[in-house]
Amino acid sequence: MSTDVLGNRVTLREAASLAAVDDFVEGFIASEARAVNILQAQEDGSAIVQAYCAALHMFAETADAPANARPFLARAQAAAREASEREQRFVAAVAAWVDGDVPRAIALHEEQARAFPRDLASLKLGQYHLFNRGDSPGMLRVALHAVPAASDVPFLHGMLAFAWEQCHFLEQAEASAREAIAMRRKEPWAHHALAHVMLTQGRLSEGHAFLAEMSPTWTGLNSFMVTHNWWHQALFALDLDRHDEVLAIYDAHVWAEVKEYSQDQVNAVSLLARIELAGGDVGDRWQDLGTWLARRAHDHVLPFLDLQYLYGLARAGRIEAAREWLASIEAHALTREGQEAAVWQRVCVPAARGLLAHATGDWKTAVEALGHALPRLVEIGGSHAQRDLFAQLHLDAMVRSGHLSGAQNLLQPQLRAQPESKRLQRQAKKLYASLGLPDLPAYLRWS
């Protein structure tokens, strides 16, 4: 009887497939590109091999991903009678995902975490779904199921760290991240979680130095993990007014991996937008990015993705395409049901209208539409740091439309939380001058 790298029993028709299975399992939880090696075993009709192949196709986050995954899923389901209980449940969870029934997929992954707590690939996939629904307590809950049985695995502590951080338990998040790194220095998800903690706590110089120290270990990773950790380094550099470094990171890392991939694209959109909001010049970078965004063909896989595709298209000067995308989002929202309908109709649609308004200089509409969406924005998924882009755009629209007192009410708490931020200091100094308080920075001991 074979077992995978984590000790989970696997049912294989071809013994030689075990290496590919291990590459998927450990590669997935380690954010490493070798997870794709499972495709080398795709001729093995074993249920777990086929289910892993199906999941890999779904991670493309494109409209045609379910169609590409279905042949593998069908083979997995046909072989499920030979498989173990654990493997059968994983097949069922992937089937629910392919069918668009994410709540059922989540329920199955949580069952798996209780019954087979060392199935960390299942746990990681469950966290992925929960993250995309804004359910950070769920992310934490499923990870905690695995602690008694899998505390020897550094990647579990990285998963815990990010879940703790997204639930605002920052001290616990840092402890888990540092435990993961002590066990395995090359644990990029733990690096990522600790970067979130340091950003939230305003430890900007420390965060910048920490990621610089860890970055030599970011080898062999999937494109999302590479681009996203460098994206975090760029955020630290941006707040520290290191604009040349930010652009260099964008060119060499954030927009230099897999340009057709959804997550690489939204990292790029978000960083360019933040550079501009901080007063930087991005040159013709929007235009290059826009050529890739135009190929998305109104995917509507996740609202979090759609919103950034739309904004990127508009900033690239493809206004008509952005308007068409907005109309497509509005039409798609009307086809949704239940909780999904509420997210698309009541959060994504107003946010999309606000983003397009901001990109086209309609500040009044941007303030109203984004202001409507922001209180519920967690429901579209993404992390606190990622969703902060929408808050920054809303604040910018408030200033530009003359809502200065309201802008002060939003900006000063941010500066209080991040007193090192030269970006926020500069924005506040300008705002206070507009409010007739030009000498206030001296009283507050920053300038």
Is the same domain home to 360 and 324? yes
Q: What is the pLDDT at residue 439?
A: 83
Work out the pLDDT band at 67, boundaries 50, 70, 90: very high
Work out the pLDDT band at 441, boundaries 50, 70, 90: confident
pLDDT in tens, 199-238: 999 999 999 999 999 999 999 999 999 999 999 999 999 9
Q: Residue type for 372, please?
A: H
CB contact set of 435 (below 8 Å; sequence gap of 6+): 404, 405, 408
Give the CATH number for residue 188: 1.25.40
Q: What is the pLDDT at residue 88?
A: 98
Q: Is residue 416 part of a domain?
A: no
CA torsion 352-356-359-363 (nearest 10°) is -90
Which H/E stretch holds residue 311?
Answer: helix 303-315
Q: Which class for 443: exposed (0-12), middle (13-18), buried (19 or more C-beta within 10 A)? A: exposed
pLDDT mean over 58-82: 97
By mean pLDDT, which of 55-69, 286-300, 314-328 is the weakest? Answer: 286-300
pLDDT in tens, 77-87: 999 999 999 99
Backbone φ and ψ for 221, nearest 5 degrees, come out as -90, 165
Is the same domain home to 24 and 157? no
Is the same domain home to 243 and 309? yes
Torsion sign across C-alpha atoms 149, 153, 154, 158: negative
The DSSP string of 228-241 is HHHHHHHHHHHHTT
How is residue 360 written in tokens?
Answer: 């086209």
Q: Is residue 293 part of a domain?
A: yes
pLDDT in tens, 383-392: 999 999 999 9
pLDDT in tens, 10-38: 999 999 999 999 999 999 999 999 999 99
Q: What is the pLDDT at residue 116?
A: 98
In angstroms, the CA 363 to CA 424 distance is: 20
Q: At residue 447, does pLDDT exceed 70?
A: no
Is the same domain home to 36 and 132? yes
Q: What is the pLDDT at residue 444?
A: 79
How many structural domains comprise the chain? 3
Is the same domain home to 80 and 173? no
Q: Is residue 181 part of a domain?
A: yes
Q: What is the pLDDT at residue 281?
A: 97
CA torsion 181-184-185-189 (nearest 10°) is -60
Domain of 321?
Answer: 234-401
Q: Residue type for 201, please?
A: Q
Last residue of a domain, one of 145, 169, 189: 145
Is the same domain home to 287 and 339? yes
Q: At residue 190, does pLDDT exceed 80?
A: yes
Is the same domain home to 301 and 386? yes
Task: Check if the beta carbon of residue 373 is closer than 8 Å to that of residue 351.
Answer: yes
Is the same domain home to 138 and 267? no
Q: Is residue 199 part of a domain?
A: yes
Neighbouring CB atoms inside 10 A of 300's CB total: 21
Share of the chain above pLDDT 70, in %: 99
Q: Which class for 213: exposed (0-12), middle (13-18), buried (19 or more C-beta within 10 A)? A: exposed
In angstroms, the CA 133 to CA 140 distance is: 14
Last residue of a domain, one of 86, 110, 145: 145
Torsion sign across C-alpha atoms 92, 97, 99, 102: positive
Share of the chain above pLDDT 90, in %: 96
pLDDT in tens, 251-303: 999 999 999 999 999 999 999 999 999 999 999 999 999 999 999 878 899 99
Q: Is residue 228 part of a domain?
A: no
Work out the pLDDT band at 165, boundaries 50, 70, 90: very high
Is the same domain home to 251 and 368? yes
DSSP code of residue 361: T
Last residue of a domain, one of 200, 221, 242: 221
pLDDT mean over 337-342: 92
Q: At residue 445, does pLDDT exceed 80?
A: no
In angstroms, the CA 379 to CA 248 distance is: 33
